Structure 1
Amino acid sequence: MHSPLTRRGFLATGSGLAAATVLPGLSGCSALTGADSDPDTLVVHSQLGTTAPGSPTYLAALDRFRKENPGLKVKNLINGDDLAQVYETSRLARKEPDVVMVNLYDKTLAWTDVGATVDVKGYLDDWGLRDRVLPRALAEWTDAKGRVRAFPYFATNWPIAFNRALLDRAGVDAIPTTGDELIAAARKLRAKGIAPVTVGGNDWTGQKLLAQIIQTFLTEDEARHAYTTGDFGSRGAREGIDYFVTLRDAGVFADKAQGLTSDTMTTQFNTQAAAIESAMSSALAKVPEKVARHTEVGGWPLTGGAVHDKPTILRTYTLIGFWISPNGTKKIDAVEKFLRFMYRPDTVSRFIKESGRDMALRSDTLSTDFPLVAAAQRLGGAVSQALLPDVYVPPAAAQPLITATSTSFTRGTSAAKVRAALETAYRSA
Structure 2
Amino acid sequence: MHSPLTRRGFLAAGSGLAAATVLPGLSGCSALTGADSDPDTLVVHSQLGTTAPGSPTYLAALDRFRKENPGLKVKNLINGDDLAQVYETSRLARKEPDVVMVNLYDKTLAWTDVGATVDVKGYLDDWGLRTRVLPQALAEWTDAKGRVRAFPYFATNWPIAFNRALLDRAGVDAIPATGDELIAAARKLRAKGIAPVTVGGNDWTGQKLLAQIIQTFLTEDEAKHAYTTGDFGSRGAREGIEYFVTLRDAGVFADKAQGLIADTMFTQFNTGAAAIESAMSSALAKVPPAVARHTEVGGWPLAEGAVHDKPTILRTYTLIGFWISPNGTKKIEAVEKFLRFMYRPDTVARFIKESGRDMALRSDVVSTDFPLVAAAQQLGSKVGQALLPDVYVPPAAAQPLITATSTSFTRGTGAAKVRAVLEAAYRSA
State the TM-score, normalized to the length of structure 2. 0.96
| 2:28–2:82 Cα contact (<8 Å) kept | no
- Note the residue ranges of structure 2 that are not aligned, 5 or more in a row: none
SS in 1 for 2:313: strand
Shift of 1:30: 1.6
Name the CA distance, whole Å, in 2 between partners of 1:310 and 1:44.
42
Counterparts in 2 of 1:358 and 1:27: CA distance versus 1, 3 Å = farther
Cα distance in 1 between the residues matched to 2:121 and 2:230: 30
Identify the residue that residue 2 of structure 2 maps to in structure 1.
2
User: In the superposition, relative to structure 1, how do residues 27 and 255 fare at CA in structure 2: closer, same or farther (>3 Å)?
Assistant: closer
Q: Which residue of 2 aligns with 1:427?
A: 427
Distance 1:255 1:147 in 2: 44
Q: Is the 8 A contact 1:187 1:251 kept in 2?
A: yes
Report deviation, 1:9: 2.6
Change (3 A) 1:23 1:291: farther
Q: CA deviation at 1:27?
A: 12
In the superposition, relative to structure 1, how do residues 154 and 417 fare at CA in structure 2: closer, same or farther (>3 Å)? same
Q: Does the 8 Å contact 1:27/1:77 carry over to 2?
A: no
CA deviation string 1:360-387 (max 9, x = no partner): 0000000000000000000000000000
Match of 1:290, SS state, is: helix
- 1:228-377 map, 5 Å: 228-377=228-377
Runs of at least 5 residues in structure 1 that lack an aligned partner in the other structure: none
Cα displacement string for residues 130-154 of structure 1 (whole angstroms, at most 9, x for unaligned residues)? 0000000000000000000000000
SS at match of 2:200: coil
Residues 103, 318 of structure 1: 8 Å contact kept: yes
Verify: 1:27 aligned to 2:34, yes or no: no
3-state SS of the aligned residue for 1:420? helix
Partner Cα separation in structure 2 for residue 164 and residue 12 of structure 1 = 55
Measured against aligned partners, the alpha-carbon deviations of 1:280-339 in whole angstroms (never above 9, x if no partner) come to 000000000000000000000001000000000000000000000000000000000000
What is the match of residue 54 of structure 2? 54
Give, in whole Å, the separation in 2 of the partners of 1:13 and 1:244. Answer: 43
Q: Are 1:128 and 2:128 counterparts?
A: yes
User: C-alpha deviations, 1:17-60, integer Å up to 9, x for none?
Assistant: 99899999999992211110000000000000000000000000
Kindly report the root-mean-square deviation, in angstroms, between the aligned alpha carbons of the 2 structures.
2.5
The 1:42/1:25 distance shift into structure 2, 3 A limit, reads farther
In 2, the alpha carbon distance for the partners of 1:145 and 1:57 equals: 34
Larger displacement relative to structure 2 (367-376 or 26-35) = 26-35
**Distance in 2 (alpha carbons) for counterparts of 1:289 and 1:15:** 56
Residues 25, 80 of structure 1: alpha-carbon distance in 2 compared, 3 angstrom cutoff: farther
1:4 to partner: Cα distance? 3.4
Provide the C-alpha distance between the structure 1 equivalents of 2:291 and 2:2, rounded to a whole number of angstroms. Answer: 45
Inter-partner Cα distance in structure 2 for 1:357 and 1:209: 21
Q: Secondary structure at the match of 2:5?
A: coil
1:238–1:4 CA distance, 2 compared to 1 (3 A): same
8 A contact 2:29–2:89 mirrored in 1: no
Shift of 1:16: 16
1:3 Cα offset (Å): 3.0
The CA deviation at 1:7 is: 5.2
Residue pair 1:26, 1:77 contacting (<8 A) in 2 also: no
C-alpha distance in structure 2 between counterparts of 1:361 and 1:148, whole Å: 15
CA separation of 1:48 and 1:26: change in aligned 2, threshold 3 A: farther
CA distance in 1, matches of 2:421, 2:221: 22
How has the CA–CA distance of structure 1 residues 143 and 31 changed in structure 2, closer, same or farther, with 3 Å as cutoff? same
Residues 67-109 of structure 1 show CA distances to partners (whole Å, capped at 9, x for unaligned) of 0000000000000000000000000110000000000000000
TM-score, normalising length: structure 1: 0.96
Change (3 A) 1:62 1:170: same
Tell me if structure 1 keeps the 8 A contact 2:161–2:276: yes
Contact 2:9–2:22 (Cα < 8 Å) also in 1: no
Cα gap change, 1:404 to 1:70, in 2 (>3 Å): same
Shift in Å, 1:2 = 3.4
Is the contact made by 1:13 and 1:89 (CA closer than 8 Å) also made in structure 2? no
CA distance in 2, matches of 1:72, 1:377: 36
Contact 1:133 1:361 in 2 (8 A): yes
Q: Which stretches of structure 1, 4 residues or more, deviate above 6 A after TM superposition?
A: 11-29
Change (3 A) 1:111 1:28: closer
The DSSP-based 3-state class of the residue aligned with 1:255 is coil
